[in-house]
Structure 1
Amino acid sequence: MRKEHTVQELAYATQMSLRAQGNLLASNVISNEALSLVVEGKMSKSQYQLIRSVSVQKNCKLYPPYKCVLDAKKKCYPKKSEISVTESGATVRLQALLNHTAERLLIVQSDVIKSLSENEIGINLELICKWGCDGTSGQSTYKQKFSDGDGNKTDANIFFISLVPLQMFDRVNAHVIIWKNARPSSPRFCRPIKIQFLHETAKATRVEVDCIKEQERNLVPFQTIMGGKEVNIDFKLVLTMIDVISSLRKLPPKKLRSLSVYAVELLIPPSVPESSQISFNNTSDASDDDD
């Protein structure tokens, strides 16, 4: 059979056979691979359809229809009921986002879980994620009015909160790692929690961070069935994605004097003249200001 048919024809026949048997998880592999191709290649809809039409003309049905790619893409998002969108921002419930992230990781690592024996994997897993927030200003503004709020909202500033999954492991046997983020500093696995038109201030940051921490305290383990047994996944969030340097640069000179000389050297831009830099030799001035 391998001599009479190409690899693409056999792959397509395998997909159709699995779909006819009701094994949709295995039959969706081709759709997920097509979605990965679109994302990695930054392809538009017309570009993908052009490549698929050329392959179909050559009697090679390697690429699934674009509708299958959209269906695979929709599975990468939490449920619509857990997402709230307004004209000034969008947010997803933290519990729903973590549950969906854990479920997708289990599906991706299903072969790894099946390869482990009963003694190597317990029913209690833990997913560690880092999260944080940051703001940006200087965005293009448009002459539009916002109906919600007090009329002072503007689209010149954007405030963003996100998390990145780092590692999933067995809580009983910590050396058993189910999944590990090979590129923790890359935005590839960045999962947005909230994005809104908001100016980044100390007060606004505290309010948003407290809101996420409140949701974190109310988190419950994610439960699912895999391999015929129940799997529980606990979540651990670590606030590490913060713009420390930018926040410290906004401190007044009086508070900057409490920092070390080496820390201040990192904060002062090279273009700042020496006359405006902070002096650390005159300790009497610092003590007078503190009084």
Structure 2
Amino acid sequence: MESLTRRIVIMKYLAESKEKTFDMVLQTEIKHHQVVNNHHRTMKEPRKKYLRDEYLRRWAKANRTKSSFLSQNKNWLDITLVLDTEDDSFDQDREKRTRRAENEFDIMQSERTKRRKTEELRKNYSGDQLAYAVQMKLRECGKKDAAKLCKEATLTSPTRPKKILNKVNSESQHKQLSPYHALCLQLNRGMSKATYCLLRSVQKEHNCRLFPSYARVLEAKQSCYPPGMLIDDFDMKLPLQALLDHTATRLIELQREAFELLPNYLERKYEMITKYGFDGSGGQALYSLPASGIDTATESKLFATFICPITIKVQDTNIIVWQNPAPSSPIYCRPLHLQFAKETPE
């Protein structure tokens, strides 16, 4: 039998050190020696570690120079490696081959072949016997959950399989919120972007897709802003017609199903009734406001002008397509003009 020396392993490692580690080269050489000499012996792990550490120590002592290392360690390199332990990887390979043979029935064969090979089983045994055999085989293979599920589905009440199937289907089909519903939830609960993204990531870890991505929520939020908005340091205002058009368009989009119930709804004309109002408030925070331009007494007071949609109906008829469920609520108020100004009787 050809011996495996330290010189063979280390010279191989010096030639391949840029691509492989010392342990990889050592294992490769041992495998090659096993194949050539037809044996299953290998080195013990402590001896592998000693060989690697001793090589590194001697390599450093030789200033990491190949010629110096070979001349200083000639006798040490010629020592034969001790292979006195059975290699467990051969047993593992044997187990893998066995598992491949067992899985060949599921992977390599068609449904027609499977039906033909199991025909004798189905003829000679009843469904309850086969179900019990499957349960016991699954438990024998360590698949306890699958065995329990098989028992629940086949060996209990006749309605249990349908209940299990309905439960699986209902849990696997989570209906995702629309971007507008998610935006409404975020605004009503005062959630920041970080809080929203954290909740979404936790749900994704549990295979739930209830919340849409924050990018889609942001797009929905941008679509809620009417065009033509003018903002400076002291007020915000919108063209009245632009605000009315945007409000009507958004309500029609959200109530499209109600509009589609009307005959020839695309050819009809509609009328939106709104109301408007003013209100002022004082004691506003003064931080992050301009230091000049208006007096401090005015900066703490905010005067707001709003419009509120009441109904949308078909023109010249009494058919109401949409009606505000809470006309006195601030939720439906649309800001027309916000300004730092003091409220006056006029």
Q: Which TM bucket (shorter chain)?
A: 0.5 to 0.7
Counterpart residue number, 2:209: 61
Counterpart residue number, 1:178: 321
CA 1:69/1:2 → structure 2, altered by over 3 Å: closer, same or farther?
farther
CA 1:100/1:42 → structure 2, altered by over 3 Å: closer, same or farther?
same
Counterpart residue number, 1:195: 338
Q: Which has the higher strand share?
A: 1
**Alpha-carbon distance between aligned partners in 1 of 2:168 and 2:234, rounded to the nearest angstrom:** 59
Q: Is the Cα contact below 8 Å between 1:122 and 1:172 reproduced in 2?
A: no
Counterpart residue number, 2:304: 160
Counterpart residue number, 1:45: 193
Q: Which residues of 2 match residues 91-240 of structure 1 at below 5 A?
A: 91-118=237-264, 123-141=268-286, 144-147=290-293, 154-174=298-318, 176-202=319-345, 205=346
Q: Which amino acid aligns with 2:281?
A: T
Q: Is the Cα contact below 8 Å between 2:280 and 2:303 reproduced in 1?
A: yes
**Alpha-carbon distance between aligned partners in 2 of 1:182 and 1:111, rounded to the nearest angstrom:** 18
Q: Which amino acid aligns with 2:230?
A: S
Q: Is the Cα contact below 8 Å between 1:158 and 1:196 reproduced in 2?
A: yes
Q: Which amino acid aligns with 1:65?
A: S
Using the TM superposition, give the Cα deviation of residue 170 of structure 1 relative to its aligned residue in structure 2, in angstroms. 0.7
Q: Is the Cα contact below 8 Å between 1:124 and 1:170 reproduced in 2?
A: yes
Cα offsets for 1:13-63 (capped at 9, x unmatched): xxxxxxxxxxxxxxxx72122112212333222221121111100122221
Compare relative contact order (CA 8 Å, sep 6+) and give the higher one, 1 or 2. 1
**Alpha-carbon distance between aligned partners in 2 of 1:91 and 1:139, rounded to the nearest angstrom:** 19
Using the TM superposition, give the Cα deviation of residue 11 of structure 1 relative to its aligned residue in structure 2, in angstroms. 3.8
Using the TM superposition, give the Cα deviation of residue 75 of structure 1 relative to its aligned residue in structure 2, in angstroms. 0.9
Give the secondary-structure state (helix, strand or coil) at the position aligned to 2:298: coil
Q: Which has the higher helix share?
A: 2
**Alpha-carbon distance between aligned partners in 1 of 2:172 and 2:339, rounded to the nearest angstrom:** 45
Displacement over 6 Å in runs of 4+: none
Using the TM superposition, give the Cα deviation of residue 71 of structure 1 relative to its aligned residue in structure 2, in angstroms. 0.8
Q: Is the Cα contact below 8 Å between 1:8 and 1:62 reproduced in 2?
A: no
CA 1:172/1:137 → structure 2, altered by over 3 Å: closer, same or farther?
same
Q: What do you get for the CA RMSD once the two structures are aligned?
A: 2.6
Counterpart residue number, 1:70: 218
Query: Which sections of structure 2, spanning at least 5 residues, go unmatched?
Result: 1-164
Percent same amino acid at aligned positions? 34
How many residues are aligned here? Answer: 181
TM-score, with structure 2 as normaliser: 0.47
Cα offsets for 1:82-121 (capped at 9, x unmatched): 0000101111111110000000010011001111223x88
Counterpart residue number, 1:18: none
